[in-house]
Amino acid sequence: MAHPMVLQLRFTRSEFRRAISGISEPDAMKRVQPMNSISWTVGHLAWQEQRYFLFFPGGSYLLPEIQEKYKYGAPASTPPLAEMWSAWERITAAVDPWLDQLDVKKLQETVQGAWQPKGIVYGNLLQRVIYHYWYHTGENMAVRKILGHKDLGTFVGNIDEEAPYTPE
């Protein structure tokens, strides 16, 4: 069974998807400044998972173009949502086997390589990704409300059944 924090990440991913469910391609591509487009946030979170969970432990990128276009500080853009979901799904599918092997020892291991600042452990990266998803889930819901979307999902979904507290 996956580590409890990995289960929380998977629930968080599902909530991120749920918050965007049903949005049209044109609305996903709209930019409500100063926020990014919803489609960009999908690419941005794919960037982070690819960087933290493929590149840092293994040294390679599945989709190198994601690294430039959607990294922190990259210029705002309005990519097609379908294209971003495709990239996100490919990256998360590639990341999942690495996540499945995580245990307490690996989560406490210091990330090696060019990562700055030094001394970051994989457990911190996993938490950072989870919280980053929640940040953009809220941002995306705000954009949808500004765009006039109705009947949006409630925060948080069925966490008690889908991702209950599980001790290590």
Domains and CATH numbers, the chain: 4-162 (1.20.120.450)
Euclidean distance between the first and final Cα of the chain, in Å?
11
Q: What pLDDT shows up at residue 129?
A: 98
Q: What pLDDT shows up at residue 145?
A: 95
Task: State mean pLDDT over 6-24.
Answer: 96
For tokens 């069925």, name the residue.
158
* Contact (CB, 8 A) for 87 and 66: yes
Q: What pLDDT shows up at residue 117?
A: 62
Rounded (10°) CA dihedral 74, 79, 85, 90: -60
Judged by average pLDDT, the poorest of 47-56, 97-106, 153-162 is 153-162
Crossing angle (nearest 10°) for helices 4-20 and 122-146: 20
Residue 124 has which token pair? 């911190």
Mean pLDDT computed over every residue of the chain: 93
User: Given a cut of 90, is residue 118 above it in pLDDT?
Assistant: no
Task: State mean pLDDT over 132-142.
Answer: 96
C-alpha 3: how far from chain center: 18
Q: What is the pLDDT of residues 152-168, one digit of tens each?
A: 887 788 888 888 888 87
Q: What is the pTM of this model?
A: 0.93
